[in-house]
Amino acid sequence: MRKARLLAILSLFGLVWATGAVAADEHKDKKTGGKTLTATLTGSTEVPGPGDPDGSGEVTVTSEGQNRLCFDVKVSNIDPPTAAHIHKGSAGTSGPPVVTLPQVTSTTGKNCVEADSKIISEIQRSPADYYFNVHNSKYPNGAVRGQLKMGR
């Protein structure tokens, strides 16, 4: 009888643990194991502004390992991009870039970049404290911007 109770308790513990692990992995990219973050980009959210009033877009950011971030960016209704970054800063504030996406010259693109593992961990732990923006020559401070959030 004691053995059956112990087995039942251990089985219940295993079920609770497995359910928690599934919930924790809910936003992990199945292919890479990294968390997926997204942002909707608009000119109206650019700070200090102005951003491009017609500009819009979206970005998906995934981590691959401890030191690599990959980006899938699509923007529209802006002049050709010249740069893109993840900045430290909550909504309505401006902050310094912490990750730079290299060779941004097109309105759509995918790319990966090496980044400090501590920065990647901080971004994943608190994505709303970071934003993604795209710059161009007409809007050098940023044409479109969006706060990061857990994706998918």
Span 134-148, average pLDDT: 96
- Alpha-carbon gap, residue 152 to 68, rounded angstroms: 20
- Mean pLDDT taken over the chain: 82
φ/ψ region of 20 (left if φ > 0, alpha if ψ in -120 to 50, else beta) reads alpha
pLDDT band at 1, cuts 50/70/90? low
Q: Are residues 14 and 35 in the same domain?
A: no
pLDDT per residue as tens digits for the range 8-61:
433 433 333 333 333 344 444 444 456 899 999 999 999 998 999 999 999 999
Name the residue type at position 132: F
pLDDT per residue as tens digits for the range 61-92:
999 888 999 999 999 999 999 999 999 999 99
Q: Are 141 and 46 in contact (CB under 8 A)?
A: yes
Q: What is the CATH number of the domain that holds 53?
A: 2.60.40
- Alpha-carbon gap, residue 46 to 54, rounded angstroms: 12
Query: Could you tell me the residue range of the domain that residue 2 belongs to?
Result: 1-26
Q: Are residues 53 and 68 in the same domain?
A: yes
Q: Determine which of 34-38, 93-97, 119-123, 143-147 has the lowest per-residue pLDDT on average.
A: 34-38
Span 99-121, average pLDDT: 88
What pTM value is reported for the model? 0.78
pLDDT band at 107, cuts 50/70/90? confident
Span 102-131, average pLDDT: 91
Q: Are residues 49 and 117 in the same domain?
A: yes
Count the domains in the chain: 2
Q: Are residues 139 and 116 in the same domain?
A: yes
> What pLDDT is recorded for position 152?
63
Which ranges constitute the DSSP H helices of 25-116?
none
> What pLDDT is recorded for position 108?
84
> What pLDDT is recorded for position 9?
38
Q: Are residues 21 and 35 in the same domain?
A: no
